[in-house]
């Protein structure tokens, strides 16, 4: 399977714990995006990488959130001191980033439940 | 700033009848627009995209959308609904450099037998 993969698929954690999610994009894609989706809503943009550079961050991304993409391959999203409001589906997407192929390909998501 | 408004949160049609899912956009420049579908417990899948080429865009599974600048609309249509079309549909607009994508709140399509 050469699609976008995310790990884990589900994560249950207690409030105050730190969690880290991983995203592996399609191999030739240089752009990688993170989104958060809560029940009944559309995905909300969190952050964007071009290769290893983080070029955009949403104001939704508080200081407790950090994302990395070392070497421009996989990416990690860490949430420190989780809160119940962080419960959501975290989606990763990748794209080629050329005008003829700007569409994003999404992974299956990581569902986070904070108890 | 860019945004999209999906005018209906729920649409219900009978199998074999036409589908119309409405989307209006706001953009300070000529936008790029997309429709994605999300089936229950499945990932988001691209249906079609508009990036300033032909205004009538054909996508997968018989869906199409027409970009109408004068109406700032990008409605999704299908001539004949199938049971397998039941899902949630998202209209999306990107910023100029495709660095950020803005999703609508979604329209849940129900298809009755």
Structure tokens that stand for A7 in this block:
């790990």
Any idea which residue has 């032909």 for tokens? B54
**Confidence (pLDDT) at A1:** 53
**Confidence (pLDDT) at B52:** 76
Flag whether pLDDT at A29 surpasses 80: yes
What is the percent of chain B where pLDDT is above 70? 100
- Please, which residues 4-23 of chain A have a Cβ atom closer than 8 Å to chain B? 4
**Confidence (pLDDT) at B30:** 83
Q: Smallest Cβ distance to A102: which of B51, B100, B102?
A: B51
Residues A36-86 have pLDDT tens digits of: 999 889 999 999 999 999 998 998 788 999 999 998 899 999 999 999 999
Which residues in chain A have Cβ-Cβ distances shorter than 8 Å to B34?
A: 103
Distance (Å) of CA A43 to CA A52, A88, B43, B58: 23, 10, 12, 24
Work out the average pLDDT over B16-38.
94
Which residues in chain B have Cβ-Cβ distances shorter than 8 Å to A45?
A: 100-102
């Amino acid at each position: 399977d050469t699609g976008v993969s995310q790990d884990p698929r589900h994560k249950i954690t207690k409030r105050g714990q730190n969690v880290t999610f991983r995203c592996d994009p399609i191999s030739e894609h240089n752009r990688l995006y993170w989104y958060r989706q809560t029940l009944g809503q559309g995905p909300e943009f969190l952050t964007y990488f071009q290769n290893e550079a983080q070029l955009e961050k949403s104001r939704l991304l508080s200081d407790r959130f950090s994302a990395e993409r070392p070497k421009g391959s996989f990416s990690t999203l860490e949430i420190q001191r989780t809160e119940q409001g962080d419960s959501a589906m975290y989606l990763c997407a990748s794209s080629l980033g050329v005008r003829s192929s700007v569409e994003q390909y999404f992974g299956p998501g990581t569902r986070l439940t904070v108890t | 700033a860019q945004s999209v408004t999906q005018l209906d949160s729920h649409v219900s049609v009978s199998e074999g009848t036409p589908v119309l899912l409405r989307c209006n956009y706001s953009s300070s420049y000529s936008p790029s627009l997309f429709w994605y579908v999300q089936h229950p417990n499945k990932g988001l899948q691209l249906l079609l995209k508009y990036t300033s080429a032909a205004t009538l865009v054909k996508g997968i599974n018989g869906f199409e959308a027409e970009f109408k600048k004068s109406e700032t609309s990008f409605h999704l249509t299908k001539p004949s609904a199938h049971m397998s079309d039941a899902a949630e549909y998202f209209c999306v607009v990107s910023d100029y450099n495709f660095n950020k994508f803005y999703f609508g709140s979604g329209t849940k399509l129900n298809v009755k037998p």
